[in-house]
């Protein structure tokens, strides 16, 4: 069976119908090509899948990486079944490997605010960098979402339109500080850097849409951490302030509420820490 031919059709489906990003397509290709190369017979079977998972483990892949590859295979087989190319979805009953739950890094609100307030905003580059960081902490955006923002996604109503995973759009409010920083960037500095035809909200030093790597470097330089830590801090601080978990789920763009549930554990951890330092008999 020509699985490599089917794979090209599947990737075309993901690109043109599902509108997955190039990075996601590369991940699917890598995952599935590795599995297809492992197949010894002319068709997928449970024995082949289990031996592939065992091989990945022996090769030193982490459980989270192996689970991603299992997920890619499950999606591929489901598509093959829907396209009448196979009669059975063998990976349907394959279980994901257990992953020890680790809590993401969270910066305290006082520390994070102190860092942001201390960011210089004199040059056009600095004004842009501060606007980016203010936006990340105000909205909890993924970096991939931030770099896709256009000028017309920002307005005077103090919210921003975000195109999230699967091109699902959501509206996220901005705090006053973030709104002022972005507004200042647009009115004072953006046109000095951006190419005249560029529609992106944030641009790099060459005038074109800023990319993910540049944003990560900016956050690391200014805050000493990475954008995902700012996103985690955003969610945790909202929950600690009394926000409903369903509101936080919507703001983060999570489809699965269990993903947002992780942040409640972080908040409980923070409460325990505060209790121990505050109660006289703790």
Span 68-83, pLDDT tens digits: 999 999 999 999 999 9
- Selected from 2.40.30.110, 1.10.150.130, 1.10.1760.20, 1.10.10.10, the CATH number assigned to the domain covering 3-93 reads 1.10.150.130
Euclidean distance between CA atoms 59 and 76, whole angstroms:
23
Instruction: Give the residue numbers annotated as catalytic, written as ranges.
Output: 142, 165, 228, 231, 254, 263
Query: What number does CATH give the domain 109-277?
Result: 1.10.443.10
**pTM greater than 0.85 (yes/no):** no
Strands 169-173 and 159-163: antiparallel
**What value does the mean pLDDT take over residues 155-184?**
87
Half-sphere exposure of 28 (CA within 13 A, CB side): 21
Closest CA to 106 of 240, 222, 12: 240
Highest mean pLDDT among 70-79, 93-102, 254-263, 271-280: 70-79
The H or E element containing residue 160 is strand 159-163
The crossing angle, in degrees rounded to 10, of helices 227-240 and 257-278 is: 70
**What value does the mean pLDDT take over residues 191-216?**
94
**What value does the mean pLDDT take over residues 39-67?**
87
pLDDT at 2: 84
Contacts 24+ apart (CB under 8 A), 42-48: 42/1, 43/1, 43/86, 44/3, 44/77, 44/86, 44/90, 44/91, 45/90, 46/90, 46/93, 46/94
pLDDT at 280: 60
Annotated domain spans of the chain: 3-93, 109-277
pLDDT greater than 80 at residue 130: yes
Euclidean distance between CA atoms 146 and 231, whole angstroms:
12
**What value does the mean pLDDT take over residues 206-228?**
94
pLDDT greater than 80 at residue 168: no
pLDDT in tens, 94-125: 999 887 666 667 888 999 999 999 999 999 99
pLDDT at 267: 58
**What value does the mean pLDDT take over residues 211-233?**
93
């Amino acid at each position: 069976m020509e699985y490599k031919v089917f794979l090209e059709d599947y990737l075309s489906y993901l690109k043109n119908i599902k509108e997955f990003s190039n990075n996601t397509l590369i991940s699917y290709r890598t995952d599935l090509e590795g599995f297809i190369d492992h197949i010894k017979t002319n068709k997928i079977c449970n024995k082949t899948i289990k031996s592939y998972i065992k091989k990945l483990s022996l090769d030193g892949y982490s459980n989270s990486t192996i689970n991603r590859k299992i997920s890619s295979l499950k999606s591929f087989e489901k598509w093959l079944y829907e396209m009448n190319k196979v009669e059975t979805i063998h990976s349907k009953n394959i279980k994901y490997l257990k992953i020890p739950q680790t809590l993401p890094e969270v910066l305290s609100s006082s520390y994070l605010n102190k860092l942001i307030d201390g960011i210089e905003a004199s040059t056009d580059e600095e004004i842009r960098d501060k606007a980016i960081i203010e936006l990340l902490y105000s909205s909890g955006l993924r970096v991939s979402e931030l770099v896709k923002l256009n000028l017309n996604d920002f307005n005077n109503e103090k919210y921003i339109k975000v195109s999230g995973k699967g091109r699902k759009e959501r509206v996220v409010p901005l705090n006053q500080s973030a709104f002022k920083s972005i507004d200042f960037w647009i009115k004072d500095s953006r046109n000095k850097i951006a190419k005249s035809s560029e529609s992106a909200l944030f641009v790099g030093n060459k005038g074109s849409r800023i990319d993910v790597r540049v944003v990560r470097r900016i956050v690391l330089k200014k805050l000493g951490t990475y954008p995902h830590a700012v996103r985690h801090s955003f969610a945790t601080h909202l929950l600690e302030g009394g926000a409903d978990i369903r509101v936080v789920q919507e703001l983060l763009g999570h489809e699965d509420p269990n993903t947002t549930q992780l942040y409640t554990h972080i908040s409980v951890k923070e409460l325990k820490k505060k209790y121990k330092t505050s109660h006289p008999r703790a």
